[in-house]
Amino acid sequence: MLTNRDEILMRRVLKLAQKGQGKVHTNPVVGAVIADRDGNVISEGYHSYFGGPHAEVAAIEAGKNGDIHGSTLYVNLEPCCFQGKTPPCTIAIINAGIKRVVAATADPDPRVKGKGFDVLKNAGIKVEVGVLVEKARYLNRGYFSSRQRGRAWCAVKVALSMDGKMAAADGQSKWITGLEARKLAHSMRADHDGILVGGGTVRQDDPELTVRNVSGSNPVRVIISPHYGIPKESKLAQTTKTVKTILVTFESVDAPVDDIAGIELLKLPDRGDGTIDPKELLESLLEFGVQSLLIEGGSGVLSSFMQADVIDEISVMVAPSVIGQGLSPFNGFIPESWEERPKFEVSMVKRYGKDVMIRFSR
């Protein structure tokens, strides 16, 4: 039977797993804790680099000087049961004499997906699943989305004035929010595999789209600009050798990328109206290792992704200011009907300095 202590230790597991963010891609982030019969922690570990020991093995190795025989292993994802870059974790668990495994959720990878639990059960190990399952799935939301839906997880981040504008009528938008909210925005970039904007945003704002002022890896930069490409004098073009950058263009267009070394092309069909299918883009980005995507603008891109009904989450930074006439984030979106307009649930509200962040989830 699961206990409150099990939940406490699973929270520790999730914190450990986060240490692998940006280091184990495209594998999921996983943490592990081994505890004795009284719930005292013996050892812990996490998957720290791609191709390295998995969390379960790291925790077992860390506990070699202690007695882990008869212990309980806590892990946020089902232990693997196949030979990959490392041996199956199920074998290490069985050989270590662990007698109970508490997992947050099953692994959606068809090579595992319940098979890992079956191997452990057949070895006489008690398996219990379902502790903090939603938090565990959210932590690896890109991994789950890629394997269950065949597309990248899609999140949106926008900064708005209190009257719902993301820019003034003349295009000015720096800065709507304060330093604390902007720091959060950079943390969100580090928490996703890719970041996307449209070509208009590149030409208007000349963004760098990198992680600054916080620790974390730069996401892959994805630019939708089938007609104009990326200006070679832009910050993006100047940094394509150090930060992976993908230009999304039409199959029928020779993208103007001369003199921009290091840029990669993703060519997709023109839907006939001069736009690209957002769902097809999210599917294609998996080939580039992008399992979770953060969209930062502009209005045309945001509207097209809303129209395609592929947005999983929206984080809105609201500043206590009024812009008046200006640009709204989904100004180009037209719902099929009032009843069929997209609906989200408020999943988080938090203050950052003078601004407020509201997160809406599906």
| Residues catalogued as catalytic | 56
Omega into 26 within 30° of 0, i.e. cis?
A: yes
CB 267 within 8 A of CB 250: yes
- Other residues' Cβ atoms within 10 Å of the Cβ of residue 97: 13
Would you state the structure tokens that stand for residue 336, as one six-digit string?
């099929």
Residue 131 to residues 19, 27, 43, 136, Cα–Cα distance (Å)? 20, 21, 20, 9
